[in-house]
Structure 1
Amino acid sequence: MNEPANWSEHSARQITAAGLRRSTPRQRVIDLLADRDCAVTALEIDAELEGVGRATVYRAIEQLEDLGLVRKVDLGSSAHGYEKIEPSGHHHHHIVCDDCGKVEPFEDEALEEAIHDIHRKGFRLESHEVTLHGHCADCS
């Protein structure tokens, strides 16, 4: 079986395999998430997708999360973002401004190595998430 060329294609295959219909509204949510480098809230998705009802957006996100295609990211203050899970396992962590809510991705090889060291010590990690909170340059 050929590997999917990108996350959108991978998602389409997973949706079909799960017996779900490849609806236009769901595909629009997938396309929006595919184009993002970092987490986006359901309200942001709803605001950008004219003609797609809010309930449809939330249902699509829930289905994608249930299929392991997106992950929920805690942004603090009871806010959550959603971002794609790359089939390759590649991921990043998050920096969140507690004033304006801006979310930026960050990657750190030393951090990933420290996390991998935990595995080498015999602890089997299922997952990890690192979100740093503070104040961005615009809000400082």
Structure 2
Amino acid sequence: MKIAITYAILALIATVANIGAQDIVIRGYSGAYAILLSIIVGTGVGLVIKYVLDKRYIFRFRARDAVHDGQTFVLYTIMGLATTVIFWGFEFTFQHIFQSDGMRYLGGAIGLAIGYVTKYHLDKRYVFRTAEAA
């Protein structure tokens, strides 16, 4: 139960960073593809923050060196592609239906929550499986 609570808190931190980064982009740029750009930036910010937090606090993973850490990050990112489709699907759907930033962010938060549950299981099985041996 403790791991679930910790994971939920860390997911919330990454979600706030993601949505916050999106909001910063939208406030600073309102041109063509502003929403797409904001979602891409937010996804990148959330990805890096979530990787660092998961690696340290959830899986207690220690890379052998910078190359190993880079390889682990690439695998972590690949596992996140399917969950990103979930997240983006919710966010773009809410934008299309409601046509408002607030509802788009709500859709993003719902998509991230579903995606993070899925991602935990993928990361545990495929990305950080050697954490016990590291």
TM-score of the two chains, using structure 1 as the length reference: 0.27
Could you say which structure has the higher helix fraction? 2
Could you say which structure has the higher strand fraction? 1
Q: Larger RCO: Structure 1 or Structure 2 (Cα < 8 Å, ≥ 6 residues apart)?
A: 2
